[in-house]
Amino acid sequence: MSGFGRFAPSPSGDLHLGNLRTALLAWLFARSTGRGFRLRIEDLDRVKPGAAERQSADLAALGLDWEPPVVWQSQRLPLYEAAIAELTAAGRTYECFCTRKEIQQAVTAPHGPMGAYPGTCRELTDAERAAQRAAGRPAALRLRADITELVITDELLGSYRGAVDDLVLRRGDGSPAYNLAVVVDDADQGIDQVVRGDDLLASTPRQVYLATLLGLPIPQYAHVPLVLNTAGQRLAKRDGAVTLRDRIALGETPDQILNALATSLGYPTATTIAQLLTQFRPEQLPQEPWTLDPNGLLQPSSGP
Ligand code: GLU
């Protein structure tokens, strides 16, 4: 196998049809290019007990498979700390004592890109830092970035220019931040193809920059459109009847659900996962989000 693709869910609850569609796409991209496929449980926060097991079972029910081992981020803390130590040794980190509220207020100021950290703690003196620590303020650790934006290449979207700021590497509660963990894990697991929802596109320039600083290879990226509800909003659990288990309870089978996902990806006819794989053409994927009425049936009835 030349490399790996992956699906990396946060185990905060059951996967909905949008997540399942993204997982299917990630699997198709990987397998159709001769890659292996990995499953990684991103359990550094928002963990619901049993959710990861249910997510894996749902992916398997649709016919997806992956190479072991399944890794859990919570068991890999030394890897993330090693990367943080490397950046710190290179003078690339600083402690940040800002509260979320302070940051929000600062970025509503007229300067700086939306959502970017304004750099408040970047130039604190040793004495100022000591005073903050003495006041008992928990410190997050941030990257000292020396660029403010970066252009990345996406297989589906082409060039994308996005903000790079002094992103958090370790949160105030001591846990590694998502952007750091994802970069370290993708490299460590031999992931050279990242297929995920386009809600994460804006994080990608930050991740590419971080990988470059750590001397890690940059994976190929493909960000895929999300699934929307009939009001045009991103599909969510509250839309009702959106998980595999909800659909099965309505009388649909995993094969029918797979077929509905396939149809949404532009496949014309009822298809098995093996057929999907042989027919998969990324350049023919719909560019638009899939709008779904969760209260309707996924499959037109073909009964007598
Ligand atoms: N764990 C993230 C999520 O569930 C996905 C991370 C990624 O694919 O890079 O939204």
Measure CA 205 to chain center.
Answer: 13
Top mutation candidate among 4, 10, 25, 206 for ligand 1, by most atoms within 8 Å of CB: 10
What's residue 251's pLDDT?
93
> One of 74, 237, 254, 263 is an active-site residue; which one?
237
CB 3 within 8 A of CB 190: yes
Mutate to test the pocket of ligand 1, among 200, 226, 237 (most ligand atoms within 8 A of CB): 200
Which of 22, 44, 70, 182, when mutated, tests ligand 1's pocket best, judged by the most ligand atoms within 8 Å of its CB?
182
Give the binding-site residues of ligand 1, using a 6 Å CB cut-off.
8-10, 42, 182, 196, 200
Q: What is the pLDDT of residue 114?
A: 66
How far, in Å, is the centroid of ligand 1 from the Cα of 239?
21
pLDDT at 299: 61
Return the ligand 1 atom nearest residue 203 CA.
Answer: 9
Q: How many residues does this entry show for the chain?
A: 304
Burial-class residue 33 by CB neighbours within 10 Å (0-12, 13-18, 19+).
middle
Residue having the nearest C-alpha atom to atom 6 of ligand 1: 8
Gap from CA of 26 to ligand 1 centroid (Å): 12
pLDDT at 112: 55
Ligand 1: nearest atom to the Cα of 19:
4
Kindly give the number of the ligand 1 atom that is closest to the alpha carbon of 207. Answer: 9
pTM of the model: 0.93
**What pLDDT score does 304 carry?**
38
Tokens (6 digits) for 75: 């068991």
CA of 149 to the centre of ligand 1 (A): 22
Q: Please tell me the distance between residue 136's alpha carbon and the centre of ligand 1 in angstroms.
A: 32
How many angstroms does the Cα of residue 8 sit away from the middle of ligand 1?
5
Q: Could you list the pLDDT tens digit for every one of the 304 residues in the chain?
A: 589 999 999 999 999 999 999 999 999 999 999 999 999 999 999 899 999 999 999 999 999 999 999 999 999 999 999 999 999 999 999 999 998 888 877 765 555 566 788 889 999 999 999 999 999 989 999 999 999 999 999 999 999 999 999 999 999 999 999 999 999 999 999 999 999 999 999 999 999 999 999 999 999 999 999 999 999 999 988 888 899 999 999 999 999 999 999 999 988 776 899 999 999 999 889 888 999 888 777 765 443 3
**Span from the CA of 188 to the centroid of ligand 1 (angstroms):** 16
Q: Which domains does the chain have, with CATH numbers?
A: 4-74+226-302 (3.40.50.620), 77-187+199-222 (3.40.50.620)
Active site residue 237: yes
